[in-house]
Structure 1
Amino acid sequence: MDTAERLIESAQQLLWERGYVGTSPKAIQQRAGAGQGSMYHHFRGKPDLAEAAMRRSAAQLRAQAEAVLAVGDSATARLGGYLERERDPLRGCRVGRMAMDPDVIASDELRRPVEETFAWLRDRLAEIVAEGVAAGELRAGLDPSDTAAAIAAVVQGGYVLARAAGSREPFDAAVRGAVALLAAARA
């Protein structure tokens, strides 16, 4: 693995563990086994490297979500599969965590991968809900965009609840509740 890749992977891990504010260039360099000169040879600075790492994390999250959303013989099975996918709620979402960081939110460049990822997720979930409504599986009148936003919020909010409690149970309860609501929305 070349130095640029090691720097991106190290930044990904540190951003997930510590957030943007808590991740120093020195910590990234140490984890990557790279010198300061190497970092600045490949990236203009911490924001540039962080954006590359966040884009990589966002692409990985989209690929994981799509792999789950593509499996199932019904809309509710696909949405349930997404909700019930194996996660580590105490670690949280590597993309969603960035939305809690004031320096990320204050920067259009750093916020963009987060914003784009959640827009993609809501759109993809809404497509599946709309397919379920069109097929008569989900009740007519169920708003796909609102339902997609609620599903995304359950997962992201579940991470927050789990981390706050130091237990995965609040996350699991939120997922069970969302799955029950989807079942209640069947036509």
Structure 2
Amino acid sequence: MYSARMSTSDRLIESTRELLWERGYVGTSPKAILERAGAGQGSMYHHFKGKPDLALAAITRTAEEMRTRVGRLLDGPGTPAERVRAYLLRERDVLRGCPVGRLTMDPDVVASDELRAPVDETLDWIRERLAGLVEEGKEQGEFAPELDGEEIAATILATIQGGYVLARAAGSPALFETGIRGLLSLLTPTTPVAPAGPIAPSAP
């Protein structure tokens, strides 16, 4: 399942990442981790202090991977509006849900400050970056001037995470896709917005 060149510790981390996404913290047993990783008994405790330590490594790697992937879109080419659109329309495994967002619904992860930290940091980073792009877009006339960057960023994340829930409940990505299209239609002004500029002096 994993590359023969992958170290045992990496196989343990990767198997834990997948199991956390599929089963949550409680359902991710050391036995299941070892079986999926193809590792022998005792290898977990050779490389990690225990399940919480391994789970932290797995969650941290998942969070870092998401920031890298999302960063390529939010910091990539194009105008602010184009980058926001690229983020909203990026390819996702909708029915599996967000590997980071799903962790916020895991009571064992939420109850642990250490396990929750990389999740909170990643969602905060995405929200802050989106808010900055909305403000940039307002200055360039791409977004309506009355929009608030922080509010729109929170709305984007809420739409995406809520869309995953609706899609999983329906067994179809259709509602997720509908929500994204609806949000894009709300963000797109019906008439061009003049970019902000200096106020012309009034006539004498």
Aligned to 2:199: none
Residue 85 in structure 1 maps to residue 90 in structure 2: yes
Cα offset for 1:41? 1.2
CA RMSD of aligned residues (A): 1.3
- 1:102-142 alpha-carbon deviations (Å, 9 max, x no partner): 11111101111111110011011111111111222212231
Match of 1:180 in 2: 185
Show the counterpart of 1:154. 159
Post-superposition Cα deviations, 1:8-65, rounded to whole Å, max 9, x if no partner, equal: 0000111111111111011001111112321011111111111110010111111111
1:87 shift after superposition = 0.8
Pair 1:6-2:11 in alignment: yes
| In 2: Cα distance, 1:184 partner to 1:45 partner | 52
Which of 27, 33, 53 is residue 38 of structure 2 equivalent to? Answer: 33
Match of 1:96 among 93, 98, 101: 101
**Identity value in percent:** 58
Greater RCO, 1 or 2 (C-alpha within 8 Å, sep 6+): 1
Superposition pairs of residues 33-112 of structure 1, within 5 angstroms:
33-112=38-117
Q: For the residues of structure 2 that align with 1:68 and 1:54, how far apart are their CA atoms? A: 22
Q: Residue 22 of structure 1 is aligned with which of 22, 27, 37?
A: 27
1:128-164 CA deviation, whole Å, 9 max, x = no partner? 1111112222122311111111111111111111001
SS of the residue corresponding to residue 21 of structure 1 reads: helix
When the two structures are superposed, what TM-score results if normalisation uses the length of structure 1? 0.95
Q: Which runs of 5+ in 1 are unaligned?
A: none
Larger helix proportion of the pair: 1
Gap runs ≥5 in structure 2: 1-5, 194-204
2:119 pairs, out of 114, 119, 125, with 114
AA aligned opposite 2:117: R
Q: CA deviation at 1:72?
A: 4.3
1:128-147 matches, within 5 Å, as 128-147=133-152
How many pairs are equivalent? Answer: 187
